[in-house]
Amino acid sequence: PRGQNSSLSSVLLQIVYHLSAIYFLVYFLATLSLIIFKSQVLSYPDANLWLDVCLLLTAAALEAARLYCARGILLQSETSIGASLCLTVFSVVLSVYFLVWQSYVTRADLIANGVLLSGYAVAGLLGFFTFARFTRSEVTGQPSHIRRTARFRAILSYSWSHRPAGKPVPRDPRNKISNSRVKRQNRN
């Protein structure tokens, strides 16, 4: 059994995000080089050239945002991991564009996008399992909003038990048992 201070972060997911960042840098440079090469060698329509370059820059911005949101693994934040998963979906759509709908798709495009999509699949699955673990913790078996409420109440009960002498204890309308104790404490 795990203790109350156990970590919920996924080391494997952290490694996958780190490798994804390195590979995306290589992918971005390779795809940009291929677009330049195809525009010089092949009759590449100007409108499609600008579309491909803009979508590649959009993919780079999405990847940067996705990796920034992935810091939620270390923070154990459900919101950050959820945002990272949503951005992964958009990144997959852009990768599929470069794999299927680009003006000219070369074998190098197929290989580069295939590896990128495989990385997104692994990161998506691990991210989903980590997200599920954060929202439904193995530590307490309770949803995160209940854990947060319990933590808040523990902080409040600590502050109530260490109040200055002579000050009445505030009542909690939701808790009838502790309210009877509060009445007894206020009488003394």
Q: How far is CA 90 from CA 25, 86, 96, 111, 120, in A?
A: 18, 7, 10, 20, 11
The CA angle 4-10-11, to the nearest 5 degrees, is: 115
Question: Is the pTM of the predicted complex or chain greater than 0.85?
Answer: no
Say what the pLDDT of residue 44 is: 86
How long, in residues, is the chain? Answer: 188
Say what the pLDDT of residue 62 is: 97
Helix (H, G, I), strand (E, B) or coil at 8: coil
Q: Is 131 exposed, middle or buried (0-12, 13-18, 19+ CB in 10 A)?
A: buried
Rounded Cα–Cα distance for residues 8 and 76 (Å): 7
Rounded Cα–Cα distance for residues 52 and 58 (Å): 10
Q: Can you give the pLDDT of all 188 residues of the chain as single tens digits?
A: 444 445 556 889 999 999 999 999 999 999 999 999 999 999 888 899 999 999 999 999 999 999 999 887 887 788 899 999 999 999 999 999 999 999 899 999 999 999 999 999 999 999 999 888 887 764 455 555 555 555 556 555 555 455 555 555 555 555 555 555 555 655 65
Q: Which residue has the tokens 């795809």?
A: 31
Question: Which two three-digit tokens encode residue 28?
Answer: 């971005």
Rounded Cα–Cα distance for residues 148 and 91 (Å): 32
Say what the pLDDT of residue 143 is: 52
